[in-house]
Amino acid sequence: MAKYITYENSGVSINANDAMVNKIKSSVQNTFGPRVIDLHGGFAGLFRVDYDEKLFKKNYKTPVLVACTDGVGTKVLLARDMKKFDTLGDDLVAMSVNDMLVLGAEPLFFLDYLGIDKLAPAKVAQLVESIATACKTADCALIGGETAEMPDVYRKNDFDMAGFAVGIVEKDRIIDGSKVEPGDIVLGLASNGLHSNGFSLARTICFKNLKLKPSDKIAALDNNTIGSALLEPTRIYVRSIIKLLSQYKVKQIVHAMAHITGGGIVGNLPRILPADCDAVIDKSKWQKQPIFDFLQKSGPVEEAEMFRTFNMGIGFVLVVSPDFANSVTAKLTKYGETVYNIGTIRKGSKKVILK
């Protein structure tokens, strides 16, 4: 008599998925606000955008939806090697919500995708719980997701993550860079470190060239391990920026913003500059985290390559009216950000000039 084969024999466990879903249920529901219509186990997430003055404190007259998607890159390999999965949620959520924040949009909801070789409920639950925690930090709801167990696609212990965010902004409050003009001040908000970009280069330097292990302590990094320095989670700027923008409901004193990701300041800041403006950035105006000097010296890596690969200590940039630069700095500092006056706007041709 023939022996029946099951889905689990092929490497996919439905029971493990059910166990994982039960583990993450409370973490996910903790991100829900009054706009979420909870259908746990449903085929899609539901989110209200209608006007209900009694229910919602903030509503929109001419709402525009904003959508972003991103991943974490090869930072997942470091997390895999360190068996540490409780910070990747910050990286995943930040990469999308910080992008939409550039337009002045506040995040509404988030969905995650996780592809993995074998579904270990505790491991996956830790990943999803970290995403839920990050969504709380970004004031958005985690209303759905997908975990795909694919042993023929991913090698043992390998996995990948992607995230999808939807936000909202008033049409007449969209920040698109069109108001940027010579004389504007460029403010930089400190990053936490590498965030989620440049890890292929960082891993080559640390683990291929220097033959380090993630657990190796580095004197130049205040005797922290190289793994912990690289795995430092991406900073989420949502609350600070949204609170700041709410303080200026009439005047648009923030003329442009940029999320400093792959490409660094020199690659991302020109994306929001008018065609006739340059940004002159003074590299001496902020303090970089030690990890950047360590990578540059250990490579060695030319400074120009560092600035077009990494954020170099600045994770988010605002271009503001010069009359309001001090007040914006004071407010953002009060909200918990480390703020640097890093440059000015002048006439030019849409370039960043480092000096």
Domain-ending residue, one of 143, 170, 197 = 170
Supply the range of the domain harboring residue 297: 185-354
In a domain, 175, yes or no: no
Cα-based torsion angle of the residue sequence 316, 321, 325, 327 in order, rounded to the nearest 10 degrees: -110
pLDDT tens digits for 79-137?
A: 999 999 999 999 999 999 999 999 999 999 999 999 999 888 888 889 999 999 999 99
In a domain, 177, yes or no: no
In a domain, 3, yes or no: no
Q: Is the dihedral of CA 250, 36, 335, 262 positive or negative?
A: negative
On whether both 212 and 151 belong to a single domain, the answer is no
Q: What is the CATH number of the domain that holds 325?
A: 3.90.650.10
On whether both 128 and 200 belong to a single domain, the answer is no
On whether both 26 and 115 belong to a single domain, the answer is yes
In a domain, 258, yes or no: yes
On whether both 12 and 109 belong to a single domain, the answer is yes
Q: Rounded CA gap, 218 and 212, in Å?
A: 10
3-state secondary structure (DSSP) of residue 146: strand
What residues in the chain have per-residue pLDDT under 50?
none
Q: What is the CATH number of the domain that holds 37?
A: 3.30.1330.10
pLDDT for res 17: 58
End-to-end CA distance of the chain: 78
On whether both 17 and 134 belong to a single domain, the answer is yes
pLDDT for res 37: 75
Tell me the two tokens of residue 246: 């709410």
Domain-ending residue, one of 104, 137, 170 = 170
Helical residues (DSSP H) of the chain, grouped into ranges: 14-29, 75-82, 88-101, 121-137, 199-203, 226-230, 238-246, 264-268, 290-298, 303-307, 325-334
